[in-house]
A and B are shown apart, each in its own frame.
Chain A
Amino acid sequence: MSSVKKLDKIVADLVSSAPPGELAGVAENLNIILDGEQTSLVNHELEAHINESIAIYSDSYIVSKYNRDPSTSKYIDHVNKKLFNIDLATGKVIDVESYNDGGSVSYPSYFAGLVSKLEQYGEDHFPSSYAFTVIPGDNGQLDIIIVGQRLNNENFYTGQWKAHYKLSESQLVGDIKLDIHYYEDGNVRLNFDERAEESLAGPASGSSIVNAINKVESNATIKIMDQFNDLNQRSFKNLRRLLPVTRSKINWGKAIGNYRLGSDVVNSK
């Protein structure tokens, strides 16, 4: 027992492997396994994971370390000027109050325009739950977070599209993640992760920013589809044939040795 893994590291590893939208269930399972004696550890790791990986609460609130208010440890919604907290057990937003930065935050002149363009972008491209937020930073930098999510547990799947962009001057740098969990009679997971960069075509404005986002996200979608096809046509097909070369099922029993005779002839050619 020289290299015993610490409990907090194990809980952190398990929590970070949870599908988006299934965190409450994962926490419940962990609490049962741990005899309910480590609820504060489980909650702590859950919160750390949510802050690090970005989550969506009550369908429209973005929760992340980027919009966490250091003084109150609540989350700031700069778009709707709200402060809120989250309930880890129910996965809902609680304690919503209005947010007044007291003039400490500098919003760019195009902030309202960007918000309305992002709303339109959601309508155009995200058919399920959609949430976004814009977080003003120092020196005119902006963090933009976009999440599209579908929790369809009746049909055994959950999925999330999540993008985080940093805009400095006219350069947009983003990280796009796609995570889907399908679990009818099994457990199947899709993960896609891509870093993207794009220069704004023109001065920073609602349109130039959302156009750049649309471009990198459309490119990512095309890449996903290409890689899907490649995995299907090459990797999957090369693993196991649908039928043997003879195009018929095997003749089991004593005669099965005849196949070997045949293949030995082929291999020895």
Chain B
Amino acid sequence: MSYDKKFDASLDLLRRLNPQKVSAHLNDICTIVNDEELTQDLLSSVDVPLESRTCPDTGKEFLCCDYNRDGDSYRSPWSNKYVPAPSVNEDDPPPFPSDSLRQLETKANESFDIYRDLYYEGSGISSVYLWDTEDEETLDSFAGVVLLKKQTDDKSGSWDSIHVFEVIAEGSGSALYKVTSSVILDLSKTNLNLSGSLTRQLEQSSAFGSVNLETSHLVNLGTLIEKSEYNLRNLLQDVYFDKLKDIVMKDLRSDVSSQREDDERQSEVIKSLKEL
């Protein structure tokens, strides 16, 4: 079988299987495909619940994903250091954002830490990672990811949001911002479990305004990601609670007989009203 066919079949399989076990299933699939390149591509294409590490310099927790990983180490957005420190390899040093991008990354982390406070009511973890997409290392075009994670105190619910974005220069004065947002939501109560993830894309061309370029990016990215997460939260409410409930009641087990009785009772009432 060709590489593409196997890749597509793996993703299709993960789209079908129980999303609550996505991490285990992804590992199993990587074991049976037994192909280094395909494994790497699957690991970077499939969203799984985020893990966290503690930054030894600041004591703050940060989130891990493929974008801040180097081997078994993850870069802390708070200290810009890899945890644990990777073994020194001069031929293949771990990646860091350029100086100007790191400055923007620091500010983006401060901003999204406030965003997390406001939307996640002071709890949860947030992390932002940026990387250069061009050799020039300017702030005109770059890419990044915003991660947010929270679990309810009683452990009945967990939320992971992953916003991967790209900023593309559009000539002077504006840029195109494209974001792919996924939320992994897992909710469990006694013997009912609702789990899964939904993904949506959003893009917007925004002008830089009168402030400096760095601040413009913070405003435009913040606004876009806030909007995208707002949309997804509404969609999750829609799918998890309205759509699924409808499928239970209308497609699977309904009280057809009591509905029939209700209809009959209603027509009786209408009839008696007409006779008045």
Interface status of A234 (Cβ within 8 A of chain B) = yes
**Minimal Cβ-Cβ distance residue in A for B224:** A252
**Contact call B19/A123, Cβ cutoff below 8 A:** no
Partner of A5 from B17, B31, B122 at Cβ < 8 Å: B31
* Contact status of A186 and B114, CB under 8 A, knowing A235-B157, A236-B187, A252-B218: no
**Contact call B6/A32, Cβ cutoff below 8 A:** yes
Size of the chain A interface, CB-CB below 8 angstroms: 85
- The residues of B that contact A22 with a CB separation of less than 8 Å are 16
Per-residue interface assignment for chain B, residues 1 to 36, with 1 indicating a CB less than 8 Å from any chain A CB and 0 otherwise: 100011001101111111111001100110111000
Interface status of A250 (Cβ within 8 A of chain B) = yes
Per-residue interface assignment for chain B, residues 231 to 262, with 1 indicating a CB less than 8 Å from any chain A CB and 0 otherwise: 00110110111011101101111111100000
**Contact call A150/B15, Cβ cutoff below 8 A:** no
Partner of B211 from A10, A217, A253 at Cβ < 8 Å: A253
Partner of B191 from A148, A180, A194 at Cβ < 8 Å: A194
**Contact call B219/A240, Cβ cutoff below 8 A:** no
Partner of A240 from B19, B119, B252 at Cβ < 8 Å: B119
A185 to B6, CA, bound (A): 21
**Contact call B255/A253, Cβ cutoff below 8 A:** no
* Contact status of A10 and B12, CB under 8 A, knowing A190-B244, A259-B118: no
A117 to B142, CA, bound (A): 67
**Contact call B248/A150, Cβ cutoff below 8 A:** no
Category for how many chain B residues contact A: 35 or more
Per-residue interface assignment for chain A, residues 216 to 242, with 1 indicating a CB less than 8 Å from any chain B CB and 0 otherwise: 011001011101101110111011111
Within 8 A of A (CB), among B42-78: none
Interface status of A7 (Cβ within 8 A of chain B) = yes
**Contact call B215/A240, Cβ cutoff below 8 A:** no
Within 8 A of B (CB), among A86-141: 123-128
**Minimal Cβ-Cβ distance residue in B for A254:** B215
A87 to B195, CA, bound (A): 31
A262 to B6, CA, bound (A): 53
Shortest 4 CB-CB contacts between residues of A and residues of B: A188-B196, A235-B157, A252-B222, A186-B198
Interface residues of A (CB under 8 A from B): 4-5, 7, 10-11, 13-14, 17-19, 22, 25-26, 28-30, 32-36, 123-128, 148-150, 152, 157, 159-161, 178, 180-194, 217-218, 221, 223-225, 227-228, 230-232, 234-236, 238-246, 249-250, 252-254, 256-257, 259-260, 263, 267
Q: List, sorted by A's number, 18 A–B pairs whose CB atoms are closer than 8 Å.
A: A10-B28, A17-B25, A26-B16, A127-B254, A186-B182, A189-B194, A190-B194, A190-B244, A193-B191, A228-B244, A231-B156, A232-B240, A240-B119, A242-B233, A250-B118, A250-B222, A252-B226, A253-B215
